[in-house]
Structure 1
Amino acid sequence: MATATDLRRIALSLPGTTEAPHFDRTAFKVRRTYATLAADGRTANLVFTPDEQEFKCQLAPEVFSPVPNAWGKQGWTTITLDAASDEELRAALEMAHGNGAAVKRR
């Protein structure tokens, strides 16, 4: 079972990550935001590609679900922390970190 403390510890251990307020959430950024932690610490939103999102949601639907709006269609995915193992959280954060570090081309 993962916690908000685990998320913060893992995220801040990833190269170049900074933490900053983001509306009612806490954002973790590298080049751009790759994760936001809910104020209650129960869930976080992570940036995946749509294909990564589909895979994660099919693999572990009790842990991952698309954000229910246009952001979700872009790959933003909610992770329910108390349903996630430490390994699932670390792998998901590393994937999201890679997406946040990537230079977006237009």
Structure 2
Amino acid sequence: MADTETFKRIAIALPEVTSAPHFDRLAFKVKRIFATLAADGKTANLKFTPEEQEFKCMVAPEVFQAIDNGWGRQGWTTIDIAAASDADIEAALAMAHAHAIGPAPKR
């Protein structure tokens, strides 16, 4: 199973990623934030599309859980780092990162 250092290493290795404090979390950003790591390092939040979120939560409910609020309805999903494999983290971060480098959402 993975740990906080693994999460940080994989996230920061993605192209053009920077990290900085964001409230009580550590945020990972390209053009916009795509992941935030909880201060205790046990969980992180990732930005998926709602469809990706539904799939991840269905396939691996012990690893992924939709955030139960408006942010969650937009695709923000919690990953339990200890329950995740390195491959889970790598795939999830790559997916969230791809959205962050794409075109800005239309309003």
Q: TM-score range by the shorter chain?
A: over 0.9
- Using structure 2 for the length normalisation, give the TM-score: 0.97
Gap regions ≥5 residues in structure 2: none
Gaps (5+ residues) in structure 1? none
Aligned partner of 1:88 in structure 2 is 88
- Post-superposition shift, 1:57? 0.2
TM-score (norm 1): 0.98
Question: Aligned residue for 2:77?
Answer: 77
What is the rounded CA distance, in whole Å, between the counterparts of 2:68 and 2:80 in structure 1? 14
Q: What's the CA shift string for 1:58-106, capped at 9, x where partnerless?
A: 0000000001110000000000000000001100000010011111242
- Paired residues, what number? 106
Separation in 1 of the partners of 2:42 and 2:105?
A: 33
Find the counterpart in structure 2 of residue 32 from structure 1: 32
Question: CA RMSD of the aligned region, Å?
Answer: 0.6
Hey, which bits of structure 1, 4+ residues long, moved more than 4 A?
none
What's the counterpart of residue 45 of structure 1?
A: 45
